[in-house]
Structure 1
Amino acid sequence: MTRNSQRRRSDTTKTEIIGGPEKLELALHQYDESWQAHYLDHRSRIRDALAHSNVQVEHIGSTSVPGLAAKPIIDIVLTVDDITAEEDYLTPLLASGYELRVREPGHRLVRTPERDVHVHVYERGDPAVDDYLLLRDHLRSIAADRSLYENTKRHLLKNQWDDMNDYANAKTDVILAIKARARASRPR
């Protein structure tokens, strides 16, 4: 039993969006090879901040898929041993310059003040992490689904969005369909 699992406590039961909804101008940019270097810089920053912890850090989202147009926001998924032990990961991340944006059951989101990096924190073994990696890896290898996803994003960005979360939710059906194909194509 790890130190964290010995003191596990109840997680939050509601979603808290720190600062409330934010209207943002959303635009897609052609894939930029510098996104990978930006991710690697933040991966090092996160690992340095959490040097005492056993964490997994992965580049996810559209900026992690070569050839895919994206909002220039680097999405990172970070897994920790105990999502409820915020003092083990959240305090060091805040001290290293990230800001808390979302606290909800099983998930925390911190970001840079510039809003160009979002770090999604989950507990090790959370199925959401596997879903992120499944989608990323599938889009990296299947051009037709990469094109479908990009075209969906371009279509949705013709609308005005009062909150980036609403835009993200509007992509759900396409993402679910792509993940279903990805699961079906996995070797058995």
Structure 2
Amino acid sequence: MGQAFNWENEPIFIEDANECWQVRAQAEKEHLVELLASYHLVDIEHIGSTAVPGLAAKPIIDLMAKVKDFNQIEPIINLLQKHNWIHVPTHEGEHEWRKYFIKIHKNKRMAHLHIVEGDSRKWDEHLFFRDALRSSPTLVSEYAALKKKLAEQYSHDRELYTKNKSAFIQSVIKQGNES
């Protein structure tokens, strides 16, 4: 993909919730369903903060697609790259459960795509966390406050920003598992 992008160093900025995120996610989802139909696509979901009405978030759509298995992952990677999805294998080292892609528009991230295999427990965890937030205004408020604080603290370090959100996310998932 020879182009140089500044998206890796793009500062973290949290915006108030925006209804257009749902529309953008649905359009990306429909396009991906069409693209991946012949690759044993099992499901695709809008995840992450932009999938939760009323939650402040980075204005980046997160999608997760489930495929039967990774046997055909190379043709999927090649196909997605032809449709402006940048495969980022360096972000997969600690996350062997997924293949990771970023879509850039005007030198900014506009969407992330996580492709997982059919039996990935991460699929269930992501959906559980999203749905827990959707059903709890208290969790939405707590998570929004944490995200804003971390965005100020780690505005130029996405890894630390993400790492410091994980305790909150895991506590919500753990409470769900105990229920």
Which residue of the partner structure matches residue 134 of structure 1?
128
The offset of 1:84, in angstroms, is 4.6
| 2:172 aligned residue (173, 178, 182) | 178
What is the CA–CA distance in structure 1 between the aligned matches of 2:171 and 2:154, rounded to whole Å? 24
What does residue range 143-182 of structure 1 map to in structure 2 within 5 Å?
143-182=137-176
2:25 counterpart letter in structure 1: Y
Look up the SS of the partner of 2:38 in the other structure: coil
What is the CA–CA distance in structure 1 between the aligned matches of 2:142 and 2:176, rounded to whole Å? 14
Which residue of the partner structure matches residue 103 of structure 2?
112
Identify which range, 157-166 or 33-42, moves more after superposition.
157-166
The offset of 1:120, in angstroms, is 0.5
What is the CA–CA distance in structure 2 between the aligned matches of 1:121 and 1:163, rounded to whole Å? 24
What is the CA–CA distance in structure 2 between the aligned matches of 1:182 and 1:31, rounded to whole Å? 25
Which residue of the partner structure matches residue 98 of structure 1?
85
What is the CA–CA distance in structure 2 between the aligned matches of 1:85 and 1:39, rounded to whole Å? 25
Look up the SS of the partner of 1:120 in the other structure: strand
Q: CA RMSD in A?
A: 2.0
For structure 2, which runs of at least 5 residues remain unmatched after alignment? Answer: none
The offset of 1:24, in angstroms, is 2.1
What does residue range 61-76 of structure 1 map to in structure 2 within 5 Å?
61-76=48-63
Q: Structure 2 length normalisation: TM-score?
A: 0.85
What is the CA–CA distance in structure 2 between the aligned matches of 1:85 and 1:49, rounded to whole Å? 14
How many residue pairs get aligned? The number is 167
Which residue of the partner structure matches residue 67 of structure 2?
80
For structure 1, which runs of at least 5 residues remain unmatched after alignment? Answer: 1-18
Which residue of the partner structure matches residue 20 of structure 2?
34
Q: Structure 1 length normalisation: TM-score?
A: 0.81
Identity, in percent, stands at 28
Stretches (4+) displaced over 6 A = none
Any conservation in 2 of the 1:80–1:89 contact (CA below 8 Å)? no
Greater helix share, structure number: 2
